[in-house]
Amino acid sequence: MKTCPPREEIIRSHPFYFVLGLKMSQLNEKLREAIGIPTSVNPTDTRSFEGCHYRNYRLNGISLSFEADRKGEFRLSLITVYNHCKGFSRYERPLPYNVTLDQVGPDIVAEFGEPDVKKGGRFPIIIAYQQY
C-alpha cells in the first residue's frame, strides 16, 4: 500500500496539487492548460450555490469546484474528472499516482487502502482520500 510522500514531492508530481487551494482569480491560462483545459476553452456551463461555484468543461472531461474561504474568496477545492459520464467527455490527461479512469473502486482501495469518503448508488462511485 502506498503512503503519502513529502509535500514537496507531491507538488512536483502532478499539476492538480499545485492548483488546489488557489483563488479563482489566480487560476490563469497557464495553470488551466497544465490541468487539461486549453487556453481557448471557456466553461461549458457554470453553477453557483451558497458558498460554492462550479466551472464545467464538459468536452475536456473536467469540472472545477470553488468554495468560499473565511474571507469570502473562492478557492479551488475539488477537481473532478470524468470518463464519459453525465454529458462529460473522457478526461485524457494523466492522473496523480498513475491512477487511470479504467480502474474501479476496489482497484484503488487495494492500492491506497480504505478512503476517507465513499459514496455510491445511482451515480458513479466516489472515493476520496484527504491525505493525498
Residue bearing cell 513529502: 6
Q: What is the pLDDT of residues 52-104, one digit of tens each?
A: 999 999 999 999 999 999 999 999 998 999 999 889 999 999 988 888 888 88
Look up residue 24 and give its three cell numbers: 479563482
Backbone angles phi, psi at 117, to 5 degrees: -135, 135
Q: Is the Cβ–Cβ distance between 108 and 127 less than 8 Å?
A: yes
pLDDT at position 123, please?
57
3-state secondary structure of 29: helix
Contact, 100 vs 107, CB < 8 A? no
Secondary structure in 3-state letters for 96-108: HHHCCCCCCHHHH
User: Residue 113: what pLDDT?
Assistant: 86
E strands present in 16-125: 45-49, 52-57, 62-68, 74-81, 117-119
**Locus of grid cell 484503488:** 108
The pLDDT value given to residue 11? 46
- pTM listed for this prediction: 0.81
Report the percent of the chain where pLDDT is more than 70. 83
- Name the band, by pLDDT with cuts 50, 70 and 90, for residue 12: low
**pLDDT over 70 (residue 44):** yes
